[in-house]
Amino acid sequence: MLCDNFGQERLFHLSNLEIKNLEEMAVRKILKEKENAEQALQLAKEEVQAREGVLQLPQDIVNNKIDTGRGGKVAAIDRFLENVHSSTLKTGNDTCSFSQRLTVSQNDLQMLNIYESLPFDDPDGGVWKQGWPITYSENEVKRQRKLEVVVVPHSHTDPGWIKTFEEYYHQQTKNILDEMLTFLTMYKDMRFVYAEMSFFEQWWADIDDKKRDLVKKLLKDGQLEILTGGWVMPDEANSHYFGIITQLLEGHEWIRNHLGEEFAPVNHWSIDPFGLSPTVAYIVARANLSSGVVQRVHYAVKKYLAKNKQLEFKWRQFFTVDHHGDDFLTHVMPFFSYDVPHTCGPDPKVCCQFDFRRLPGSDILCPWNVPPEEITDSNCAARAFMLYDQYRKKAQLFKTNVVFVPLGDDFRYDTSFEWEKQHANYQKLFDYMNRRLDWNVHARFGTPAEYFKLVRERLFEDSSEFPVLTGDFFTYSDRNDHYWSGYYTSRPFYKQMDRTAQHFLRSAEILYSLAMARYPGESLLNELFNLLVEARRYISLFQHHDGVTGTAKNYVVVDYGQKMLMAIKNCEKVISAASNALLQQKSDEGSAHEFFNLDEVRVSHDALPVKIVADDERDIILFNSLAQDREEVVCINVKKANFIIRSARNPLTDVLQQIAPVIITQDGVPSIASDRYEVSPVLCFYAFVPSFGFEKYQLLLSNSSSNKVTLKTSVLLKTSEFFVDGLPESEIVLSNEVITAKFDPLSGFMKSVTRKGEDELHVDVSFVSYGARGKSPEKFNGGDDLSGAYLFLPDGPAKPINSNNIVIVIDGPIAKQVLVTVVEKRLSLEHSATVYFNTPHVLLRNFVNITSMSNFEVAMHLNSDIQNGEYFATDLNGFQMIKRRRFAKLPLQAQFYPMPGAAFIQDDKNRLSLLGAQANGVASLKPGSLEVMLDRRLLQDDGRGLFSGVTDNKKTMSSFILLVESMNGTDKSEAPIYFHSIFAHRFSLQLHYPIMSIFANKDERRAKTYSGLSSSLPCDFHVVTLRTMASPTVYGEQSSRSYLPSNLQALVIHRLGVDCRPKINTSFSCSLAGGQLKLLDFLRIAPKKITETSLTLLHEKLTDAALNLIIDPMEIRSFKDCRIN
């Protein structure tokens, strides 16, 4: 198999003149210190390479000087290497300089700095427990500008939590929206806001056209405001930015199709997610939203911001160096919750008396035992002053004298009683307040749109600006030392399933769009669109902040899982049909399932996928959903050990491959799988797959057995197929052309990693556990909560897990693996470390089952020589890396942060990255360490509303790439943001979007290779999605729906931010074009028209997307392609 045929012409090399000029500059500098000119020139070249990002293979690889000690196998590797080019990375002018020129203004609010300054002492603040007694001067307020009070009725409707989505809709949400329509139509002074389009769409399907017209009138008149407009209010810790964008696209597309673009949301509403990410602020800003309201911020941070009247700020991204168009005006609710007792002012006992749903006899009472009173002529003056006093005190925390007062809670306004009582009583209070000229106040019902309009007017009048804030709001704590770091890991099985479902959806979206562009109007593809929309909506639903978080009732989690399973199966059908259409001359040659089957199947929502076994000769079709060509090891299961792989395009070229047994563990005892276990050997081969494309290989029977692996083991393994030997006594060594990993023969766990030509770096892998602490009534007034779905409250430091394990080594020419079975009573833990051919990293995989444990949390621990001190990095939503610091003043549970995709530690010499395929919690608890939580089983509720523990654990897989890179130069950036190297980006994308293996019957008419692109995109560009947009839904009887594709496709592109300091030896080839992109040069099927839009296509931009574009690092840009007549 040759890699020259693809990609060689697209490598961008430094010109000879550029190299000559740079070398001369560097040589003149170095010759002052070096007498040997030849040595100086070599050093100069290395300096050029470091500065400009030019990477080359180690010289011994280029010269094919490889000693594997594998006899005839080295010849096959040599033949491959003859066709591997020296790795070349040509960077644009801004690529490497970008990360080093980020600065933070001294006047900014930087969250890491705030954390450094806070004492986290939590004194009793009086009625505002986490604040202080607020006062104001009655005389002073008369001279101030009028106090504007905007009271905003709202209802927070979770699309699944204690009940399923459907139960919530039929039992509560439908009533809320029905009553909303009735009441707002009757009372023009009343307002309402709503956010979750998943429920709104369901309700829209149930109402008639007359009511739909009334909804549009309410929107037009400003009585009803849709906030954010996403399918759900997404979690901001565990969610991947693909999932966040997907659910936002789904909601905004529905709004455009059914309400109209004139009602596109302009304000964001994120009042319940348990911590807040700047990634979400960036995404909604890209969708043309300008301001938003948030709630769950650490109580100590709220107090700090409130003291300085900085609860409203412009949330800015670290990476917006030269422009601030994505600044996002953010309002933080100052008090404990978004419910009525904690929104009118600092005293919840008083505020609760103005929640008229809680009138005596209601189903909800005030915990302070002072109920609300109906407002009458006799009590109106006194009651109005009580409420006005709270408004005045709240106003002291803000700089504009405009007060935002949410009036609602979870699933509120579901009865006409509540609508009537809230409206009537508040209107009496407003009327009285507004008549009191000495109070200098104007209060009324309103919406965030009305509130932010007033705020901006006040700022303009004062020639004032809000402060700029950078950073995130993790880890959240609502009281005491109760840090919400448990949900970063709760229900890890479904967190992993979520990423699998997103991979399937993204692949289905791309393939469907490519097929529709090639066969517009094809009836089979039109029929499949219903499956695609259903998959989008099920996966979007799980992005809800009680879905991917793992914080719902057990049976609700099952419901989410079943929906995700359906989404995966829908995507499989779309992938099969679209693949068939793209590789055949016609798209309708039989039904798709006769031609294509993916190599794995999920038979249940609560079990890991099962590999399909190839039992005869067939075509193996590989699909690459990335916009760059890929060369990787791909593995499939075959019936017998005498199968081999050949390239369909180059049948005379040897394909590097090996065959290995499957090791299974039963009752803690490993054995080689046989027919009775229905698990067959694994055939791995080194494959090339073009960007957005397919490559066909052929599975053939052979008499050859030269590609069988050998086994080394600490236990007896019975097999006649493979050679078995004992383990070495000193150390286990796995090595390839670029790295060497060493392992302890007793534990089987990694001890060190050495890159070719570099020093050995000690990296010890182990596993640890935590228990749950008991109640501590002496420590906290009123007792203490325990670890549960949300909270992580451990009983002390981690305890090591037994490392006297069963160890098996699989040694092959393209994959070498250490398999470890942890021998520990009641704990099932299997760990593997794999080194693949020509790959500079180690793949770590864990299978964990803790169903027999009680109040038990398990973590993978890495300990290394890296001197990172107190600092480390984690990612936010798979989109950006942020600097973290370990604080001695904070408890252990506060040191954990979300790791939806990556974490690393670094010093001036090395960076150790851990790239994850799923969401986990992570910490660096001492210098040189990373600790990743894998699963948790808690028997009790943690007092946050779920009323249950987490005991529905499944056998769960977690996958990580461990990557060690040499650092070339120090970090000169002042901003607390990091960037991956281009290699880490590449490997992370490969982990999230693995090559898909498709089994097909042998067919010579099928194309041997296909790419949906004319050429690969530069390697710092990632296609987030290529999505065929929907036409308006056709609603039928009994809320039935029919979906049809429109003639528009959304192309969403992300330019990655790159740190050029890490260096690595690899044959990886790519180009960086300095952010320049001309889409028509890359799209194989040119669109009739291409227009740049806002992120979710609701707003067109003036940019001519057919021309050359300049996209800054980290930018996400969207384009609307008109492809179909």
Instruction: Name the pLDDT band for 87 (thresholds 50, 70, 90).
Output: very low
CATH class name, domain 8-98+1009-1122:
mainly beta
Is residue 107 predicted with pLDDT exceeding 70? no
Instruction: Name the pLDDT band for 670 (thresholds 50, 70, 90).
Output: confident
- pTM attached to this predicted model: 0.91
372: buried, middle or exposed (CB in 10 Å: 19+, 13-18, 0-12)? buried
pLDDT (0 to 100) of residue 106: 58
Q: What share of the chain is helix, strand, coil (3-state, %, to 5)?
A: 30, 30, 45
Instruction: Name the pLDDT band for 28 (thresholds 50, 70, 90).
Output: very low
pLDDT (0 to 100) of residue 778: 54
- Report yes or no: 265 and 303 within 8 Å, Cβ to Cβ: no
Q: Report the sign of the C-alpha dihedral through residues 661, 622, 736, 979, in that order.
A: negative
Instruction: Name the pLDDT band for 969 (thresholds 50, 70, 90).
Output: confident
Is residue 93 predicted with pLDDT exceeding 60? no
- More confident: 779 or 650: 650
d(CA 962, CA 757): 19
SS3 1119: strand
pLDDT (0 to 100) of residue 48: 40
- More confident: 919 or 57: 919
Q: What are phi and psi of 884, to 5 degrees?
A: -115, 160
Average pLDDT score over residue span 201-220? 98
pLDDT (0 to 100) of residue 94: 65
Average pLDDT score over residue span 683-706? 93
pLDDT (0 to 100) of residue 881: 98
Is residue 165 predicted with pLDDT exceeding 50? yes
Cα maximum dimension of the chain: 100
Instruction: Name the pLDDT band for 722 (thresholds 50, 70, 90).
Output: confident
pLDDT (0 to 100) of residue 16: 39
d(CA 48, CA 922): 36
d(CA 447, CA 434): 19
Closest to 231 (Cα-Cα) out of 567, 475, 7, 519? 567
- More confident: 1109 or 309: 309
pLDDT (0 to 100) of residue 105: 58
Residue 272 bears catalytic tag: yes
Instruction: Name the pLDDT band for 37 (thresholds 50, 70, 90).
Output: very low
d(CA 298, CA 313): 16
pLDDT (0 to 100) of residue 1072: 80
- Report yes or no: 892 and 793 within 8 Å, Cβ to Cβ: no
- More confident: 679 or 750: 750
Q: Which amino acid, 425? A: N
pLDDT (0 to 100) of residue 614: 94
d(CA 239, CA 221): 35
**What would the pLDDT profile of 757-767 be if each residue is shown by its tens digit?**
999 999 999 99
Provide long-range contacts, Cβ within 8 A and 24+ apart, for 1088-1092: 1088/1122, 1088/1123, 1088/1125, 1089/1121, 1089/1122, 1090/1051, 1090/1119, 1090/1120, 1090/1121, 1090/1122, 1091/1119, 1091/1120, 1091/1122, 1092/1117, 1092/1118, 1092/1119, 1092/1120
d(CA 175, CA 194): 14
String of DSSP letters for 1037-1095: GGG-EE--EEEEEEEEEEEPP---SEE------EE--TTEE-GGGTBSS--SEEEEE-T
Instruction: Name the pLDDT band for 103 (thresholds 50, 70, 90).
Output: low
d(CA 317, CA 327): 7
d(CA 1027, CA 511): 9
> Which two structure tokens, joined as six digits, stand for 239?
């969610």
Q: Which residues contact 42 (CB under 8 A, 6 or more apart)?
A: none
d(CA 632, CA 384): 70
Rg from Cα positions in the chain:
30
Catalytic residue among 108, 158, 272, 941: 272
- Report yes or no: 1100 and 1120 within 8 Å, Cβ to Cβ: yes
Q: Which residues contact 362 (CB under 8 A, 6 or more apart)?
A: none
pLDDT (0 to 100) of residue 825: 83
Enter the DSSP assignment of 286. H
H or E segment at 1023? Answer: strand 1021-1030
Domain ranges for the chain, please list them. 8-98+1009-1122, 147-467
> Which two structure tokens, joined as six digits, stand for 727?
């383990």
- Report yes or no: 813 and 76 within 8 Å, Cβ to Cβ: yes
pLDDT (0 to 100) of residue 17: 39
Is residue 1065 predicted with pLDDT exceeding 90? no
d(CA 161, CA 566): 20
**What would the pLDDT profile of 993-1024 be if each residue is shown by its tens digit?**
999 999 999 998 899 999 999 999 999 999 99
In 584-667, which residue ranges form alpha helices assigned H by DSSP? Answer: none
Is residue 250 predicted with pLDDT exceeding 90? yes
Enter the DSSP assignment of 807. E
Mean pLDDT of the chain: 89
- More confident: 1125 or 110: 110
- Report yes or no: 214 and 181 within 8 Å, Cβ to Cβ: yes
Is residue 10 predicted with pLDDT exceeding 50? no
d(CA 534, CA 557): 18
Counting every residue written for the chain, the total comes to: 1125
Closest to 710 (Cα-Cα) out of 721, 698, 700? 721
Specify the residue for token string 């530069």: 1018
Average pLDDT score over residue span 415-437? 98
> Which two structure tokens, joined as six digits, stand for 123?
């004194």
Strand intervals (E) in 640-795: 643-647, 657-660, 663-666, 669-672, 682-689, 693-701, 710-713, 723-726, 732-735, 739-743, 750-755, 760-770
Checking DSSP bridges between strand 750-755 and strand 739-743, what pairing results, if any? antiparallel
Q: Is the peptide bond before 475 cis (omega within 30 degrees of 0)?
A: yes
Lowest mean pLDDT among 104-118, 169-183, 1061-1075: 1061-1075
SS3 545: coil
Q: Report the sign of the C-alpha dihedral through residues 544, 548, 549, 551, in that order.
A: positive
- Report yes or no: 818 and 709 within 8 Å, Cβ to Cβ: no
Specify the residue for token string 């919406």: 447
**What would the pLDDT profile of 459-488 be if each residue is shown by its tens digit?**
999 999 999 999 999 999 999 999 999 999
Is residue 932 predicted with pLDDT exceeding 60? yes
pLDDT (0 to 100) of residue 971: 72
Share of the chain above pLDDT 70, in %: 86
H or E segment at 532? Answer: helix 523-542
H or E segment at 419? Answer: helix 416-435
d(CA 329, CA 315): 6
Give the orientation angle of helix 37-52 with respect to helix 16-31, to 10 degrees.
120
- Report yes or no: 195 and 251 within 8 Å, Cβ to Cβ: no
The count of C-alpha atoms lying within 13 angstroms of the C-alpha of 265, restricted to the half-sphere facing its C-beta, is: 31
Residue 531 CA from chain centroid, whole number: 24
pLDDT (0 to 100) of residue 61: 34
pLDDT (0 to 100) of residue 15: 37
> Which two structure tokens, joined as six digits, stand for 743?
């392992």
Closest to 988 (Cα-Cα) out of 1058, 885, 1086, 1072? 1058
- The CATH code that applies to domain 147-467 is 3.20.110.10
Instruction: Name the pLDDT band for 46 (thresholds 50, 70, 90).
Output: very low
**What would the pLDDT profile of 221-249 be if each residue is shown by its tens digit?**
999 999 999 999 999 999 999 999 999 99
Lowest mean pLDDT among 9-23, 38-52, 381-395: 9-23
**What would the pLDDT profile of 732-779 be if each residue is shown by its tens digit?**
999 999 999 999 999 999 999 999 999 999 999 999 999 999 986 555
pLDDT (0 to 100) of residue 917: 98
d(CA 533, CA 438): 57
Average pLDDT score over residue span 516-534? 91
Is residue 89 predicted with pLDDT exceeding 70? no
Give the orientation angle of helix 554-583 with respect to helix 492-518, to 10 degrees.
30
- 477, 661, 726 from 711: Cα distances, Å: 50, 9, 8
> Which two structure tokens, joined as six digits, stand for 845?
């995989």
The count of C-alpha atoms lying within 13 angstroms of the C-alpha of 802, restricted to the half-sphere facing its C-beta, is: 13
